[in-house]
Amino acid sequence: DYLKEKLLQIAIPKAQKVRQLVKEYGDVKIQDVTMSQVLTGMKGVVSLMTCTSKLDPEEGIRFRGYSIPELKNILPKIHEEGEPLPEGIFYLMLTGELPSNDDVRYISEQWAQRAQGIPPHVYDVIEALPKDAHPMIQFNTAILAMSTESQFRKAYLIGMDKKNYWDPTYEGVMDLISRLPIIAAYIYRRVFHQGDHIPPDPSLDWAGNLAHMMGHDTEDAKRLMRLYMLIHSDHEGGNVSAHATHLVGSALSNPYYSFSAGMNGLAGPLHGMANQDVMHWINKMKREIGTDDPSEAQIKKYAEETLAKGHVIPGYGHAVLRKTDPRFQVQLDFANKYVPYAPYIKLVNKIYNVVPDVLLATGKVKNPWPNVDAISGSLLTSYGITEFPIYTVLFGVSRALGVLTQLIWDRLYGLPIERPKSQNLGWFMDKANLK
Ligand code: CMX
């Protein structure tokens, strides 16, 4: 596997640097941490090392230094006019280098081949769940069921040298990523299409195949799926899905356990489930107002009522971003280009015109702008993928690319178990001299 050899060559000097930093510069102070940072979700506390991507509050995400608009131009595509292949961003996050067409083809082929190894019991486990179990429950259960295939545990028990842990991690990650589209499509067809399954087409790319297996086999749907898989793939290391994957991986849990932990976090409404909740919020608004095409004044009132009830407006706000999410913008540009008259896209535009001011008026929301989830469901719906509960699963398939790449790097760096210190309320009160 030339990719593995290349990765090791890149990683050896970097791992040495990490060891050197710990040994020779371990006492260098990097930050002061305040009471409020700890008590409000550790925002801004630098406590993780993640190399796959970096999030700037104003500019948004960069993957190994490249923004989304840049990647749209430089990553390999199937068609000139099409979207980059997610295989390319995986290669970039893994190696730190831009892939050639051959590199992308190699990964496509690797994944197509490895995808064939899903053990039959995984389908039995999915089938044992009620059809109306949320697709994220089915997805995560399948991920855990697939961990019977983990090579990491076997290698660990045999007594592998810890320097080599990255190797079975890499193998598990490649297997797992290759299989996620099949699992996601299986769940989709099981729940929403009477179990009428569509076999993979090994000649297709990873994201194109997902659209194909879901039954959305047009070139347009495949193009959308490539974009979706590209932009959801990573968002730095501190978000819940990335951090949970990293944390559980630090106990040397295998890639399946680690990714499953991340997916449990993605299923929360403040994180990945927001893409489904946005659609519920929009549809409830249409029902309550009694029209499919509410005015901006009506949307404003509905948004204010949402806040008055003590609910969040899904799809808006962010723990780090302080501007419109470029992942929102790139989807809006895509929608305005290909499906400008789609009713849900028109609604997304109208909501964007009024909700930021409603949130700003609260005086407490730090970021009133839309995030990735404010539009992704409306875009999928406009392409006929109308079953909202599958949206977070699609997010999860994509998120695997970043968090699992970082997991390989965690093992290449030889990072130890994560164990921050906790204190009780009394300790914090003492620090503040509060009785
Ligand atoms: N609607 C209503 N209130 C909001 C809000 C929103 N969209 N965004 C923030 N707030 C509120 C917070 O709930 C908090 O209220 P309290 O002080 O009463 O607890 C206050 O504003 C300050 O919060 P913040 O510092 O601006 O935001 P946080 O970092 O705490 O939370 C996030 C970030 C994303 C959880 C929050 O903006 C939110 O709940 N948004 C809606 C859910 C959503 O879209 N999540 C998806 C994020 C992207 C992703 O991970 O997929």
Sequence ranges of the domains in the chain: 101-271+390-413, 274-382
CA dihedral 228, 233, 236, 238 (to 10 degrees): 100
In the residue annotation, 246 being an active-site residue is answered as no
User: Domain 274-382 adopts which CATH fold?
Assistant: Cytochrome p450-Terp; domain 2 (1.10.230)
3-state helix, strand, coil in the chain (%, to 5): 60, 5, 35
Q: Ligand 1 within 6 A of 395 CB?
A: no
Spatial CA neighbour of 376 closest among 226, 228, 219? 228
- CATH number assigned to the domain covering 101-271+390-413: 1.10.580.10
Q: Do 274 and 315 contact (CB within 8 A), yes or no?
A: yes
Q: What is the ipTM of this complex?
A: 0.99
CA–CA distance, 197 with 174 (Å, rounded to integer): 24
Is residue 46 within 8 Å of residue 70, measured between CB atoms?
Answer: no
Q: Which residues contact 430 (CB under 8 A, 6 or more apart)?
A: none
Return the residue whose CA atom lies nearest to atom 20 of ligand 1: 365
Helix spans in 159-205 (H): 166-192
- Ligand 1: residue of 273, 307, 316 to mutate (most ligand atoms within 8 A of CB) is 316
Q: Cα of 318 to ligand 1 centre, how many Å?
A: 6
Q: 364 CB under 6 A from ligand 1?
A: yes
Q: Residue 326: CB within 6 Å of ligand 1? A: no
pLDDT in single tens digits along all 435 residues of the chain:
999 999 999 999 999 999 999 999 999 999 999 999 999 999 999 999 999 999 999 999 999 999 999 999 999 999 888 999 999 999 999 999 999 999 999 999 999 999 999 999 999 999 999 999 999 999 999 999 999 999 998 999 999 999 999 999 999 999 999 999 999 999 999 999 999 999 999 899 999 999 999 999 999 999 999 999 999 999 999 999 999 999 999 999 999 999 999 999 999 999 999 999 999 999 999 999 999 999 999 999 999 999 999 999 999 999 999 999 999 999 999 999 999 999 999 999 999 999 999 999 999 999 999 999 999 999 999 999 999 999 999 999 999 999 999 999 999 999 999 999 999 999 999 999 999
Closest C-alpha to 156, from 141, 175, 178, 171 = 171
Distance 271 CA to ligand 1 centre (A): 10
Q: Is 34 left (phi over 0), alpha (psi -120 to 50) or beta?
A: beta
- 410 noted as active-site residue: no
Identify whether 373 is a catalytic site residue. yes
Which member of 216, 277, 318, 325 is catalytic?
318
Backbone angles phi and psi of 128, in degrees to 5 = -75, -15
Say if ligand 1 is within 6 A of residue 17 CB.
Answer: no
Nearest residue by C-alpha to atom 45 in ligand 1: 270
Among 37, 270, 307, the mutation site with the greatest number of ligand 1 atoms within 8 A of its Cβ is 270
Is the minimum distance from the CB of 225 to ligand 1 under 6 angstroms? no
Report the 10 Å Cβ neighbour count for 95. Answer: 18
Q: Give the distance (Å) from ligand 1 centre to CA of residue 270.
A: 7
Q: Is the dihedral of CA 403, 405, 408, 409 positive or negative?
A: negative
Which of 167, 243, 271, 410 is an active site residue?
A: 271
Residue with token string 């390989």: 408
Alpha-carbon distance of 257 to 358, in angstroms, equals: 41
Ligand 1 mean position, distance from CA 317 (Å)? 5
What Å distances lie between residue 77 and 84, 87, 92, 371, CA to CA? 5, 10, 14, 26
Tokens of 393: 């699963």
| 421 to 38, 294, 418: CA distances (angstroms) | 11, 50, 10
Ligand 1 in contact with 319 (CB < 6 A)? yes
Residue 395 CA to ligand 1 center (angstroms) comes to 19
Cα torsion angle, 239, 135, 128, 147, sign: negative
CA-CA distance, 143 to 115, in Å (whole number)?
13
Q: Is the dihedral of CA 287, 288, 290, 296 positive or negative?
A: negative
Q: Is the CB of residue 115 below 6 angstroms from any atom belonging to ligand 1?
A: no
